[in-house]
Structure 1
Amino acid sequence: MFQYKKIDVNISQVCSLYETFRIITTELNVLRSKHNELSKSSNHPFTNESKIILIEEAKKLKQQIQQKESSLLEVEKELLKEALKIPNDTHFNTPIGNEKNAKLIKQIGEQIISSNDLSLKDHLTICKNLNLVNFDQASKVTGTSWYYLMNEGALLELALIQYGIEKAIKKGFTPIITPDVIKSEFSLACGFQPRDNEKVSQNYFISNETSQNLVLSATAEIPLAGLYSNKILSYKELPIKLVGFGRAFRSEAGARGQDTKGLYRVHQFSKVELFAFTKHDQSDKMFEEIIELQEEIYKDLGLCFRIMDMPTYELGASTYRKYDMEAWMPGRGKWGEISSASNCTDYQSRRLNVRYKSDSNITEFVHTLNGTAVATPRLIMAILENFQKDDGKSIVIPKVLRKWMCNMDVIKL
């Protein structure tokens, strides 16, 4: 048995707040109109007594306007707070329930299993053997769940980034390097907010003396989504396909245990993100296109991986449908998520006000989609654990990466 996910949303309250917001806005506009008319009439010749009456009326109207503006601001804040809790719709084929109900779409490649004849090391042991990552010094310099990539470890990250961007460009995606600092309102608009019993945001907030509430970007998806905020596109421009590179910052890296140790869950990592703006009738096709590109990337790397249709409990607020790609990590002895693809339909575009004019000149909201091409730490883990030789003391580099690694074919002592 599974439990349905409880969503703390009161639709009736949102409707009631919106109606109050609409009524106050109308009343405020009437008062402003009266005040403007009164200001115009004050330029006409009047007796002193009449001018005094006009001035008093103007003062009363100004007070009423200020009161209405204050009331409107409070209602608007409450409306926004409640409305942001409303998640996207869910695809009719999406499995219902928690992660255990994820549906296997396909598996590519064969799992390598550690045995008496084949002793496989985890990525931490391999990294120590080959001096690829330094966690100890990073912990002193910054804190736990931070790291230095060293030697061929650094080259491996750069190679994966170059490879992922090149693959995407060949598929018609436009390269973008995104800002790593964004306004928090864009993060919220994209659906990045605490869920369930979480009370604290996973964002890193930047403290400064400006009025802007700035955060470190949790994923390049957010600044890519914001690229066309408050814009009206032509249907002829769509679909727009972008591949963005940026750093991802997550303030919550999980409890340090077997499942999260090493590079698996960290506070900062490099990410190559696929993003698309489409017409409403193009997003299903684009979803499949993104998944096909991701599948091609991981096939070319030679990984064993599987594609999962994720259930309702695993969908973020913005997500209509989501597929996860999980690589087999023999050192861990289990699957680990390396990528995902999401169709967010018009959830993000409504909040960011990204629209397009159709061929019949009707203005509609675009659909947005995103997918991870490369998330470097977990791909590095998968490569180290799957292509290890000699008890983890050498690593065969995937052929597609070698041109970015000084043409080396093996990492060894």
Structure 2
Amino acid sequence: MLDIKFIRENPELVAKKSAEKDIKVDVKKLLEVDKIRLDLIQRVDALREKRNQVAEKMKGGKPDPSLVNEGKQIKLELASEEDLLKKAKQEFDDLLDDIPNMHADDTPIGGEENNQVIKVVGSAEKKEGVVDHLTWLEQRGFVDFERGAKVAGSKFFYSIGDLAKMELALTQFAVAEVEKHGFTPMIVPNLVNSRAIKGTGFAPKGEEKQIYKVEGEDLNLIATAEIPLTAYFADEIIDIDRLPICYVGYSPCYRVEGGAYGKHNKGIFRVHQFYKVEMYVFCAPEQSEQMHAKILEIEESIIAKLGIPYRVVNIASGDLGGPAYKKYDIEYFSPLDGRYRELTSCSNVTDYQARRMNIRYRDKDGQIKFLHTLNGTAMVTSRMPIAIIENSQDKNGNLNLPDVLKQTE
């Protein structure tokens, strides 16, 4: 969430940048409720003080009837004001929760069509005779969507044989590469409570739903390791000498919407379950821009070593989502149809998630402040195999696998 002080001082800016993210907010209403909330806090505090004073006077003998009556009146007034405060606080929290993070000033304004290509690496030429990944996998018996649907429903599948081995090799390679840069490996819980979901910004809004909820329990299947990684330091204060703290998490990821909103969704590209290696950083505010560049550099290095042609894209405001301040996507080139598709992403979330999860640090002067968090994809099993299969085929359909994967066999 944003600091309410920032919103009070910059209401027009907050409204403008929220609109540029295509997120509807009511800043005016928020500030009105904020004022009501503050007034009620003052009134409740005054009544509590008055109640305590009356209680003190009633000690040491039989109290005067007038004091008893005054105490009863205060109790009634206080109960009424506390009820109003509770309602005002809930309305305030709901309105504040709707406010997205601000975006960086160099963010392109607009929707997905306004994403800005800032770098292109590798050959981007269509090739004749390239077989799409789903056909290639099914011809060799490496994927089974039919039995996946029988067992779990549409968009679930079995990875078999060389596809399973490729996913395991990619995981091992990605974790090893990221670990070289000072990231500590972590295997995270696959179920988290609602606070973790809401705190990271994954709670459903509108028609789009990403999260599978366990009925009758305050538990949810994670959509990404980013969720439990963020919540790891919830309600904690970290000494600045420990920052930045870098983790590389591995987990399955579960998404309700497998192939929604007209996105490219053939084969394993957009499914309900996949596996991901996720980089995550906790750092001081002055470190976050540098750490964002570092995460992007690691992602590029991994993709380059896999021999995948790609481009780096600065994501436009309307495609950022609520938590991100700045986001880069890396898109792989498909020689099948000559198009680029998302492979990885990395986001600087500044203090947005840290405020929601109450994650703070103690600076050199002993002051307690909210830290910054960042996340980035090192490897995802629903995308990387596609990029390798489409870009590594020879004229006979055999794959010329990158050396880094051969080394993990």
Q: Give the superposition deviation at 1:185.
A: 2.6
1:339 to 329, 344, 347: 344
* Residue 170 of structure 1 pairs with residue 175 of structure 2: no
What is the alpha-carbon distance in structure 2 between the residues aligned to residue 77 and residue 332 of structure 1? 50
Aligned partners of 1:112 and 1:386 also within 8 Å: no
What is the alpha-carbon distance in structure 1 between the residues aligned to residue 170 and residue 185 of structure 2? 15
Aligned partners of 1:121 and 1:391 also within 8 Å: no
What is the alpha-carbon distance in structure 1 between the residues aligned to residue 261 and residue 139 of structure 2? 22
Residue 114 (structure 1) aligns with: 127
Between 1:92-101 and 1:171-180, the stretch displaced more is 92-101
What is the alpha-carbon distance in structure 2 between the residues aligned to residue 363 and residue 294 of structure 1? 32
What is the alpha-carbon distance in structure 1 between the residues aligned to residue 188 and residue 72 of structure 2? 49
AA matched with 1:319: A
AA matched with 1:28: V
Aligned partners of 1:120 and 1:391 also within 8 Å: no
User: CA distance change for structure 1 residues 313 and 103 in 2, over 3 Å: closer, same or farther?
Assistant: same
1:16 to 28, 32, 45: 32
* Residue 72 of structure 1 pairs with residue 85 of structure 2: yes
Residue 247 (structure 1) aligns with: 252
Q: Give the superposition deviation at 1:38.
A: 4.4
User: CA distance change for structure 1 residues 258 and 368 in 2, over 3 Å: closer, same or farther?
Assistant: closer
Q: Give the superposition deviation at 1:382.
A: 0.9
* Residue 130 of structure 1 pairs with residue 140 of structure 2: yes
Q: Which runs of 4+ in 1 moved over 6 A?
A: none
What is the alpha-carbon distance in structure 2 between the residues aligned to residue 348 and residue 332 of structure 1? 38
Counterparts of 1:304-383 in structure 2 under 5 Å?
304-383=309-388
Counterparts of 1:11-410 in structure 2 under 5 Å?
11-46=27-62, 50=64, 56-115=69-128, 119-194=129-204, 198-208=206-216, 210=217, 212=218, 214-255=219-260, 259-392=264-397, 394-404=398-408, 407=409
Residue 411 (structure 1) aligns with: none
Partner deviation per Cα, 1:238-266 (whole Å, 9 max, x = no partner):
11111111222111123497821111111
Aligned partners of 1:232 and 1:357 also within 8 Å: yes
Q: Give the superposition deviation at 1:60.
A: 3.8
Aligned to 1:381, the other structure's residue is in SS state helix
What is the alpha-carbon distance in structure 2 between the residues aligned to residue 311 and residue 264 of structure 1? 22
Q: Give the superposition deviation at 1:106.
A: 1.2
What is the alpha-carbon distance in structure 2 between the residues aligned to residue 388 and residue 45 of structure 1? 94
User: CA distance change for structure 1 residues 55 and 367 in 2, over 3 Å: closer, same or farther?
Assistant: same
Partner deviation per Cα, 1:34-86 (whole Å, 9 max, x = no partner):
44444555552116xx4x66555444444333323322222122111111121
What is the alpha-carbon distance in structure 2 between the residues aligned to residue 302 and residue 155 of structure 1? 18
User: CA distance change for structure 1 residues 56 and 77 in 2, over 3 Å: closer, same or farther?
Assistant: same
Aligned length: 391
User: CA distance change for structure 1 residues 216 and 55 in 2, over 3 Å: closer, same or farther?
Assistant: farther
Q: Give the superposition deviation at 1:123.
A: 0.7
Partner deviation per Cα, 1:137-167 (whole Å, 9 max, x = no partner):
1111111111111111111111111111111
Between 1:4-13 and 1:373-382, the stretch displaced more is 4-13
Q: TM-score, normalised by structure 1?
A: 0.88
Q: Give the superposition deviation at 1:207.
A: 1.0
User: CA distance change for structure 1 residues 69 and 158 in 2, over 3 Å: closer, same or farther?
Assistant: farther
Q: Give the superposition deviation at 1:343.
A: 0.8
Q: CA RMSD in A?
A: 2.2
What is the alpha-carbon distance in structure 1 between the residues aligned to residue 168 and residue 58 of structure 2? 70
Between 1:279-288 and 1:199-208, the stretch displaced more is 199-208
AA matched with 2:363: S
Aligned partners of 1:221 and 1:370 also within 8 Å: yes
User: CA distance change for structure 1 residues 296 and 6 in 2, over 3 Å: closer, same or farther?
Assistant: closer
Aligned to 1:287, the other structure's residue is in SS state helix
Q: Give the superposition deviation at 1:324.
A: 0.4
Residue 410 (structure 1) aligns with: none
User: CA distance change for structure 1 residues 246 and 185 in 2, over 3 Å: closer, same or farther?
Assistant: same
What is the alpha-carbon distance in structure 1 between the residues aligned to residue 140 and residue 337 of structure 2? 18
User: CA distance change for structure 1 residues 181 and 84 in 2, over 3 Å: closer, same or farther?
Assistant: same
Aligned partners of 2:234 and 2:357 also within 8 Å: yes
What is the alpha-carbon distance in structure 1 between the residues aligned to residue 376 and residue 328 of structure 2? 9
What is the alpha-carbon distance in structure 2 between the residues aligned to residue 201 and residue 39 of structure 1? 52
What is the alpha-carbon distance in structure 2 between the residues aligned to residue 293 and residue 44 of structure 1? 72
What is the alpha-carbon distance in structure 2 between the residues aligned to residue 68 and residue 283 of structure 1? 43
User: CA distance change for structure 1 residues 304 and 200 in 2, over 3 Å: closer, same or farther?
Assistant: closer
AA matched with 2:360: R
What is the alpha-carbon distance in structure 1 between the residues aligned to residue 241 and residue 178 of structure 2? 21
AA matched with 2:358: N
Identity %: 35
Q: Give the superposition deviation at 1:183.
A: 2.0
Q: Give the superposition deviation at 1:360.
A: 2.5
User: CA distance change for structure 1 residues 242 and 255 in 2, over 3 Å: closer, same or farther?
Assistant: closer
Structure 2: segments with no counterpart, 5+ residues: 1-18
Structure 1: segments with no counterpart, 5+ residues: 408-413
What is the alpha-carbon distance in structure 1 between the residues aligned to residue 405 and residue 278 of structure 2? 18
Residue 9 (structure 2) aligns with: none
Q: Give the superposition deviation at 1:172.
A: 0.2
